[in-house]
Amino acid sequence: MKKKVCFMMMLWLSLVCTADADEIRWAINTGEGALVIISKWKGFAEYLGKELGRQVKIFPIPQHEIYERVQKEHFDFYLTTSGQAVFLEKKLGVSILAQQNDLDSGARYGGIILARKGSGITKSADLKGKKVISFGKAAAAAYLFQVYHLYQQGTDPYKDFATFNTEGKKIQDMVLAVKSGLYDAAFIRTKVLEDMAKEGIISLDDFEIVDKKTDPTFPYLHTTALYPNWCMSGSPKADPALIRRIKELVLKLPPDSEAVKSAEIRGFSEPLPLDDLHAVMKKMKVPPYNE
């Protein structure tokens, strides 16, 4: 295990620390952790580098640092959540190149409001006077989407809930807190419940999905509307020909290519409209709409 960790650290340093004026700089949000991101996207970076004839270097950026770092440092292109892509588009003028397609859910994702089966909580109005937990105010699919949805249904979580904990630390713990009765409801991202059920941690029959929606094109339980998944974006300061070429290379990769399989995705497609996401962020007054 120690050898593996040391190897991954050396790999990370080799990818992000060597200065080279001709390098192509790729910033990736480290939602899963820097070492995981390096491991997943190394093959993809090598594919792009080979096709472009230049080295593509990955710069993992922690989620809480991304807004500051991208405004201070130069990157040629980015892979971020769609909410962060909205920020980059508004603040830096980036161009959205492509939409990431996940293995099962494709190019969209959403949020769930989860309650315990038999609690009597099945719709938004039932949450009034209840204890609710979310994953934090920066979490699109475990806070923003749900609060926006509730506002649309005439429920204000800050006025109508008995308590509203917006500092949840671990998604799985939040689910188990609802199951045990510690909280009446929780806000989580789509696919979490199904993954926990597959691992044998919970049974789907233990829970109620508040304002449950169905969509034949989306395989997971959800409460909120569905929004675009992670986005590939190009910097306005990068060579336009380079950005066009990166988009071409990203879009043409088939799902069975080694670069795509190593990234554990299904590939990329043309970007989806972000209008609905802009509306959420404006209503919630999150960057870049917090000024």
Q: Does residue 224 form part of some domain?
A: no
Residue 14 has pLDDT above 60, yes or no: no
pLDDT of residue 20: 56
Co-location of 100 and 234 in the same domain? yes
pLDDT reading at 64 higher than 70: yes
Domain co-membership, 25 together with 61: yes
Residue 78 shares a structural domain with residue 117? no
Residue pointed to by tokens 């719709």: 123
CA–CA distances in Å: residue 67 to residues 23, 194, 277, 289: 22, 31, 17, 13
Total domains in the chain come to: 2
Would you say residue 274 has pLDDT above 70? yes
Higher pLDDT, 171 or 4: 171
CA distance 81 to 27: 12
Give the global pTM.
0.84
The domain of 157 spans: 109-209
Residue 71 lies in a domain: yes
Instruction: Flag whether 220 is in a domain.
Output: no
User: Do both 266 and 175 map to the same domain?
Assistant: no
Name the domain boundary from 175, 209, 243.
209
Closest alpha carbon to 266 in 274, 256, 276: 256
Rounded CA-CA distance 168/185 in Å is 12
Inside any domain, residue 121: yes
pLDDT of residue 2: 53
pLDDT in tens, 96-136: 999 999 998 899 999 999 999 999 999 999 999 999 999 88
Report the run of H or E that residue 189 belongs to, with start and end. Answer: strand 185-189
Residue 137 binned pLDDT confidence (cut-offs 50, 70, 90): confident
115-124 tens-digit pLDDT = 999 999 999 9
Report the CATH number that the domain containing residue 273 is assigned in CATH. 3.40.190.10
Which pLDDT does position 253 carry in this prediction? 94
- pLDDT tens-digit map of 231-245: 999 999 999 999 999
Q: What percentage of the chain carries pLDDT values higher than 70?
A: 92
